[in-house]
Structure 1
Amino acid sequence: MKRNTAAVVGALGIIALAVTGCSASSGAGGGEAAPVDGAKIKVAVSKDPGAINPILNATGAGTDIAAYGYDSLLSFAAGKPASGVLAESWEESPTEATFTLKEGILCQDGTELTASDVKATFEYANENGSPYIGVYFDPEVAIDADDAARTVKFTNPAPDSFLAQSVGALPIVCASGLEDPAKLDTEQFGTGAYKLVDVAPGQNYTFELRDDYTWGPDGVTSDTEGLPATVEVSVVESDATRANMMQSGELDIATVTGTERDRLQSEDFAQVLELPLRPGLVFFNQNEGRATNDLAVRTAIANALDRDEIGNVSSSGRGAQLVTLVPEIGAACTAMDSSAALPAFDTAASEKGLDAAGWKVGSDGIREKDGKKLSIKLLYPVNESASVTAAIELMQVKLKVVGIDGVPTPTPAYTDVIFSGGDWDLVWAPIFTSLPSNWAGILGGDFPPNGGNWTYNTNEEYFDLVAEASKLAGEDSCGAWEKAQDSLFSNLEILPFYSGTETAYGTNAEFAYSKESLSPISIRVVK
């Protein structure tokens, strides 16, 4: 089955299914504050999404902006059953999921959303190389829409433990948006609670609350008390600047990472949320001809890197070692632990493994084989935090100890590099998912340029374990998915480091997060 894994890699933060309920602590204003209607608030995002097509832009910044204007079939709160957004009810098995839409769902242009519109969104995504292919839906899924019954049925060619949760997460685009998809890059055509009314690219996105929104999860409507009437989303890339603007009152909601949070501890906020930051994951280029195609080299690299030391640096001392690819706020199988499958930090074992693989130390201390130096490109996003940059530099130091020339390679568009089959060996890619089955899409399928298997993964043991796990439904499948994850770690498709945290602050505003994005319909302005 061909899978385009581009998915969740956007900046690469993506794709978690809608997850709310992150751990929270409230300031003095929390809990007793009264909601305020008709207010305008200012929210910061750390990056500009560029084109805002919700189907083709799966970056963290893209989903930040899409959340205002687009709904999905379902949403998922951590530790709770799924909630319907566009879906009134649903039935599922590992191969079929049938959704019945709520009645009277209106697009921003006033037309009613139909089952055919839902089907058309998936068809558009499939035909246009959406990064969600193979993650939110199988490219060969059969979709039947019945407008009169308001039902959409998905039939998978292969079992999927979390079929409803997966297809239920795709943003749904209204018919007017699909008539001229080029407009999706600059306008929104969804059923979300907010309408995009003004854009200053790279600076601000302004949204106004619709007066006809009645289908939100858990009864949220346009009349829900405390929903802001206007939200101005500003692009503020600097942590320090966001912290300054929260202190000065220029922002009402913003996230801050690293040590900039220290000076906000004494401030009186309506809400403070500790959020899991994009995890520190290193992926290996296993394409033929790369040194990292050899498991012995990948293992030696893992042996050479102290995950605790590097992880503490990357998370500014606020993180925890990753033992699974599904975080605690994930939608399923959050208790998996594959740490025993990872190679230990052992410099001597690293050197011994490289010797056995034929890589001998040269006169300059760098290993060579067949006249080629063991030089490894360490690709990472140019706009990563200072702490991640420092962690990459520490990796370079540690690799040199065992005779590997690690070359830090920051790039503003590293996803273009990996999906095009470009020049890289290791990539620091903080991919965030909330289902173990998502990884089968990210790490499977055809190689670039014919598919999205950008790590060139050929781990047949993993593929077989995925096939077995997929036959089981829901939580009953978690043990099988853990075995598949063990295979990813032991074969070093992925080397996990630390998860960090970022802190979201609200001045006169309370809120929750979905995926890695602020949930607009969770915002309540308070006083």
Structure 2
Amino acid sequence: MKRSIVALVAGTALIALSGCAGSGAGTGDGSTLNFALSTDPGKINPITNATQAGQDVAAFTYESLVSFPVGTDPVGLLADSWVESPTEVTFTLKDGITCGDGSAFSATDVAATFEYAEKEETGSPYRGVYFPAQGLTVTPDEAANTVTFTSEQPQSFLVRTIGALPIVCASGLADPSKLDTEAFGTGPYTLTDSSAGQDYSFTLRDDYTWGPNAVTSKTAGLPKTVKAQVVASASTQVNLLQSGEIQLATVGGADRDRLKNDDYTTLDVPLRPGLIFFNQAEGRPAHDLEVRQAIGAAIDRDEVGTVASSGRGEPITNLVSPMASVCLGYDSADALPEFDVDKANSILDAAGWVAGTDGIRSKNGQTLTVKMLFPAEESAGVTAAIELLQQKLAVIGVDAVPTPSSSYTDVIFQGGDWDLVWAPIYTSLPSDWQGILSGDFPPNGGNWTYNTNQEYFDLAAQAQTLAGEESCETWTAAQDSLFTNLEVLPTYSSTSTMYGKDLTFGLSKTVIDPTSLRLTK
């Protein structure tokens, strides 16, 4: 299945915010939480907005069927329980759920949300990611309070895909245009005030009783009001944290050094992984496995990754984000190539690539020149890492040409001129990579690396017939094949850090979980 790059590129994500009439202040013991958004979410339709800011804000007013706390099993939000197979999952909904406007919530609302999201004219980036673009049947049963999803094609993680889509109440679906500026969800908060580009204010509902882990409006420490402020500058966010004007922010880069000696609740969040992909199309140098193997052996991933992450990253041994809630403990470290320059040179010698007087190799009149594409807006650390890669590849006779692009995704998806690309893509499921690295080549499909690794295709197809954790071993074997065949070479993942002042918090994937918030002062 083709996956949407919008939902996979690091720094993008899922949901949205908005508000309708609130149902009154909650009775929790907390008071007010102020937190910083790095960017404004813009239009806040939770089915079409795929920004991180949109996701963070929308979580307060919308809920999905299931929550995905970092490092643990999924937890029911709207769903009380579920039964899963590779082709079908049935969710039993919790009793007594109501929407923010006080109307009753029903199984039909779930089905209607998926119907709206599935339409091409809706333009949802989750189509083909959180649910199949074709071949999905949704059957609500009001009497049993269940919703059953049936997929024509087997999938390993139906709960973890279908369960993540934010669900919209009937009042919002009656006129979807309102979703850009208003919220129609079942979340614990309602949006009571907003000023686009500046701030968004939320009030705790007094009728919220179905939260995960028995959280209700009366849970001690849960903030009564929440105010999200748009603060673009990381330095300003640090200033506001230190002055106590905000209690929660996500800060990256060297600005974190100013917060080292203060008393904060912290959580490092992996982001923008350094992944090197190879263009394996006919006629490109990396079409030959030997060229990919030589490049893989010539790169010291620790050195390059440390530079790219400015010394704050972690080595990547798994293409699935460490913030995911599936297949924890699995990795493909043993399948990664070892750093060995002599081996790299030997591979190219044996493959007939001969070094010229300038040190650059050639074969049959073709110079071993590779265009090394990377996002133009990347950090100074990544730019330095690209320059380092250029130097290291020159040692083995590869002429690597750094090629920054402000629209690199257009270049790769449209079959453009590139050989290597530094692409900061993450996924929350191993099955997402089947959509990214298989299928038809551009312009007819999304297999933009021109991958032809049949071993990977076979293993991925086998994994899809196994449900949930039972599939993890096979998905890991498939990932091993990607690494040994050099479809992708991982380096390091950069991080940002979430800081909470007089506050504890948790995440669902990479999103703030509003039911986890507890003000401690």
TM-score range, shorter chain: 0.7 to 0.9
Inter-partner Cα distance in structure 1 for 2:112 and 2:73:
27
Inter-partner Cα distance in structure 2 for 1:205 and 1:117:
26
Name the structure 2 match of 1:374: 369
Name the structure 2 match of 1:480: 474
Inter-partner Cα distance in structure 2 for 1:449 and 1:207:
44
- Residue 456 of structure 2 aligns to a residue in which SS? helix
Give the letter aligned to residue 150 of structure 2. T
Name the structure 1 match of 2:392: 398
Residues 1:205 and 2:200 aligned together = yes
Residue 158 of structure 1, aligned match among 153, 158, 164: 153
Q: 1:393 to 1:276 in 2, by over 3 A?
A: same
- Checking the alignment, whether the CA contact within 8 Å between 2:41 and 2:53 is kept in structure 1 is yes
Inter-partner Cα distance in structure 2 for 1:486 and 1:350:
20
- Checking the alignment, whether the CA contact within 8 Å between 1:419 and 1:449 is kept in structure 2 is yes
Q: 1:295 to 1:123 in 2, by over 3 A?
A: farther
Q: Which moved more, 1:76-85 or 1:286-295?
A: 286-295
- Checking the alignment, whether the CA contact within 8 Å between 2:10 and 2:273 is kept in structure 1 is no
Q: 1:206 to 1:238 in 2, by over 3 A?
A: same
Name the structure 1 match of 2:137: 142
Residue 432 of structure 2, aligned match among 434, 438, 451: 438
Name the structure 2 match of 1:242: 237
Residue 320 of structure 1, aligned match among 311, 314, 332: 314
Q: 1:444 to 1:373 in 2, by over 3 A?
A: closer
**For each residue in 1:267-301, what CA deviation from the matched residue of structure 2 results, as whole angstroms up to 9, or x when unmatched?**
123x2223334432223344455444443333333
Inter-partner Cα distance in structure 2 for 1:365 and 1:205:
59
- Checking the alignment, whether the CA contact within 8 Å between 1:5 and 1:452 is kept in structure 2 is no
Give the letter aligned to residue 162 of structure 2. V
Name the structure 2 match of 1:114: 106
Residues 1:102 and 2:94 aligned together = yes
- Checking the alignment, whether the CA contact within 8 Å between 1:92 and 1:98 is kept in structure 2 is yes
**For each residue in 1:26-70, what CA deviation from the matched residue of structure 2 results, as whole angstroms up to 9, or x when unmatched?**
xxxxxxxxx974523221233344443333333433322332222
Q: Which moved more, 1:231-240 or 1:364-373?
A: 364-373
Name the structure 1 match of 2:82: 90
Q: Which moved more, 1:176-185 or 1:138-147?
A: 176-185
Residues 1:217 and 2:207 aligned together = no
- Residue 467 of structure 1 aligns to a residue in which SS? helix
- Residue 477 of structure 1 aligns to a residue in which SS? helix
Inter-partner Cα distance in structure 2 for 1:363 and 1:239:
49
Q: Which moved more, 1:38-47 or 1:357-366?
A: 357-366
Give the letter aligned to residue 218 of structure 2. D
Residue 502 of structure 2, aligned match among 485, 505, 508: 508
**For each residue in 1:104-140, what CA deviation from the matched residue of structure 2 results, as whole angstroms up to 9, or x when unmatched?**
3223333333222212222333323533344322232
Inter-partner Cα distance in structure 2 for 1:180 and 1:288:
49
Inter-partner Cα distance in structure 2 for 1:374 and 1:52:
45
1:399, distance to aligned residue in structure 2 (A): 3.1
Residue 115 of structure 2, aligned match among 108, 123, 126: 123
Q: 1:443 to 1:213 in 2, by over 3 A?
A: farther
Name the structure 2 match of 1:60: 52
1:430, distance to aligned residue in structure 2 (A): 3.1
Aligned-pair identity (%): 57
Aligned pairs for 1:277-426 within 5 A: 277-288=271-282, 290-354=284-348, 374-380=369-375, 382=377, 384-401=378-395, 402-411=397-406, 414-426=408-420
Name the structure 2 match of 1:25: none
Inter-partner Cα distance in structure 2 for 1:202 and 1:451:
37
1:172, distance to aligned residue in structure 2 (A): 1.6
1:423, distance to aligned residue in structure 2 (A): 4.9
Name the structure 1 match of 2:18: none
1:98, distance to aligned residue in structure 2 (A): 0.2
Q: Which sections of structure 2, spanning at least 5 residues, go unmatched?
A: 16-26
Inter-partner Cα distance in structure 2 for 1:301 and 1:15:
35
Aligned pairs for 1:15-34 within 5 A: none
- Checking the alignment, whether the CA contact within 8 Å between 1:12 and 1:429 is kept in structure 2 is no
Q: 1:427 to 1:239 in 2, by over 3 A?
A: farther
Q: 1:41 to 1:15 in 2, by over 3 A?
A: closer
Name the structure 1 match of 2:64: 72
- Checking the alignment, whether the CA contact within 8 Å between 1:395 and 1:406 is kept in structure 2 is no
1:506, distance to aligned residue in structure 2 (A): 1.2
Q: 1:80 to 1:202 in 2, by over 3 A?
A: same
TM, length-normalised to structure 2: 0.86
Inter-partner Cα distance in structure 2 for 1:203 and 1:51:
14
Q: 1:371 to 1:286 in 2, by over 3 A?
A: closer
Inter-partner Cα distance in structure 2 for 1:68 and 1:349:
54
Name the structure 1 match of 2:251: 256
Inter-partner Cα distance in structure 1 for 2:323 and 2:85:
23
Give the letter aligned to residue 484 of structure 2. S
Give the letter aligned to residue 407 of structure 1. P
- Checking the alignment, whether the CA contact within 8 Å between 1:312 and 1:318 is kept in structure 2 is yes
Give the letter aligned to residue 187 of structure 2. G
Residues 1:170 and 2:200 aligned together = no
Name the structure 2 match of 1:192: 187
Q: 1:244 to 1:48 in 2, by over 3 A?
A: same
**For each residue in 1:466-501, what CA deviation from the matched residue of structure 2 results, as whole angstroms up to 9, or x when unmatched?**
121222233332221111111111222221112343
- Residue 498 of structure 2 aligns to a residue in which SS? strand
Inter-partner Cα distance in structure 2 for 1:325 and 1:446:
22
Inter-partner Cα distance in structure 1 for 2:394 and 2:348:
13
**For each residue in 1:138-159, what CA deviation from the matched residue of structure 2 results, as whole angstroms up to 9, or x when unmatched?**
2322221223322111112233
Q: Which moved more, 1:482-491 or 1:324-333?
A: 324-333
- Residue 497 of structure 1 aligns to a residue in which SS? strand
Give the letter aligned to residue 406 of structure 1. V
Inter-partner Cα distance in structure 1 for 2:233 and 2:368:
38
Give the letter aligned to residue 462 of structure 1. Y
The CA RMSD over aligned residues, in Å, is 3.1
Inter-partner Cα distance in structure 2 for 1:159 and 1:277:
30
Name the structure 1 match of 2:464: 470
TM, length-normalised to structure 1: 0.85
Inter-partner Cα distance in structure 1 for 2:426 and 2:65:
20
Inter-partner Cα distance in structure 1 for 2:450 and 2:516:
40
Inter-partner Cα distance in structure 1 for 2:14 and 2:456:
21
- Checking the alignment, whether the CA contact within 8 Å between 1:376 and 1:425 is kept in structure 2 is yes
Give the letter aligned to residue 33 of structure 2. I
Inter-partner Cα distance in structure 2 for 1:461 and 1:316:
36
Aligned length: 505
Q: Which moved more, 1:278-287 or 1:496-505?
A: 278-287
Inter-partner Cα distance in structure 1 for 2:176 and 2:114:
13
Q: Which sections of structure 1, spanning at least 5 residues, go unmatched?
A: 17-34
